[in-house]
């Protein structure tokens, strides 16, 4: 491994935004460790990353498990010797369209465990590596959401966790100053992935209508993350919002 190699961990790398970011980073010369719960899709992402000219390692990981997160970052340390970037991307919407009063405790807990606890566990493990390595420091980019600003109907668990992600980002950013760890967040609206397919067929609006919403190419998200990742540690994009230009967010729809 070259001493000039830049090492990244991308969680939720088996599809969607995680896959797009992993391939974009690989094309820019990053070595990427790919984390996710499904081995097959992770290996597909690894092949795409290698085809883009990068080095990739797939590590099956449930980010809500402390033991599996420790194993992931231990593998990164033992294989590559350091960590320069964590893209904290793994997340779940949970059951769609369930009113607040009908959401089960189990469904609430499963969203919180992945979106908040998983993000914390990965950030904590990244901190431990970045703090002790030489040269010291690194960068964490958390995947927030437009839902970190405003909710959709019947999305109490997802929206709550994405507001929590903003607090996590701010706290990590403050605590990371002492160790040359830069922490930022990207809030994404309507990137075209399998998870946002419903935007193209009609999704519930605040006024009760079903409406088709514009989407944007997920590649635009990946390019934005790469820009954030490529900055020197003395500069940081604290918060970035990238969204389909005409989606109903700014103003009254």
Q: What are the C-alpha distances in Å from 22 to residues 43, 56, 170, 178?
A: 12, 9, 24, 28
What does the alpha-carbon distance between residue 119 and residue 121 come to, in Å, rounded to a whole number?
A: 6
249 in active site: no
Cis omega before residue 211 (within 30°)? no
Q: HSE on the CB side for 42, CA within 13 Å?
A: 20
Could you tell me which of 72, 49, 46 has the C-alpha nearest to residue 60? 72
Sign of CA dihedral 4, 234, 147, 167: positive
Instruction: Determine which one of 127, 158, 179, 249 is catalytic.
Output: 158
Cα 65 from chain centroid?
A: 17
Cβ(10)–Cβ(83) below 8 Å: no
The four Cα atoms 75, 194, 24, 73 give a dihedral, to 10 degrees, of -10
Active site residues: 158
């Amino acid at each position: 491994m070259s001493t000039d190699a830049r090492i990244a961990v991308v969680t939720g790398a088996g599809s969607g935004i995680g896959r797009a970011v992993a391939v974009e980073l690989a094309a820019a010369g990053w070595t990427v460790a790919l984390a996710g719960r499904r081995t097959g899709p992770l290996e597909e992402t690894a092949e795409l990353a290698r085809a883009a000219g990068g080095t990739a390692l797939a590590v099956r990981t449930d980010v809500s498990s402390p033991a599996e997160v420790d194993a992931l970052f231990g593998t990164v340390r033992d294989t590559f010797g350091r960590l320069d970037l964590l893209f904290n991307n793994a997340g779940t919407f949970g059951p769609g369209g369930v009113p607040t009063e009908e959401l089960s405790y189990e469904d609430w807990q499963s969203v919180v465990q992945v979106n908040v606890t998983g993000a914390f566990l990965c950030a904590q493990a990244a901190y431990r590596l970045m703090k002790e390595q030489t040269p010291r420091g690194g960068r964490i980019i958390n995947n927030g959401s437009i839902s970190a600003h405003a909710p959709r109907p019947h999305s109490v668990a997802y929206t709550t966790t994405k507001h929590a992600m903003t607090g996590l980002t701010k706290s990590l950013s403050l605590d990371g100053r002492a160790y040359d760890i830069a922490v930022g967040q990207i809030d994404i609206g309507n990137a075209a992935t399998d998870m946002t397919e419903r935007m193209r067929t009609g999704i519930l609006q605040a006024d009760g209508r079903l409406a088709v919403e514009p989407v944007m190419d997920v590649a635009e998200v990946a390019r934005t993350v790469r820009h954030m990742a490529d900055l020197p540690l003395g500069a940081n994009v604290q918060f970035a919002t990238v969204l389909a230009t005409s989606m109903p967010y700014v103003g009254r729809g």
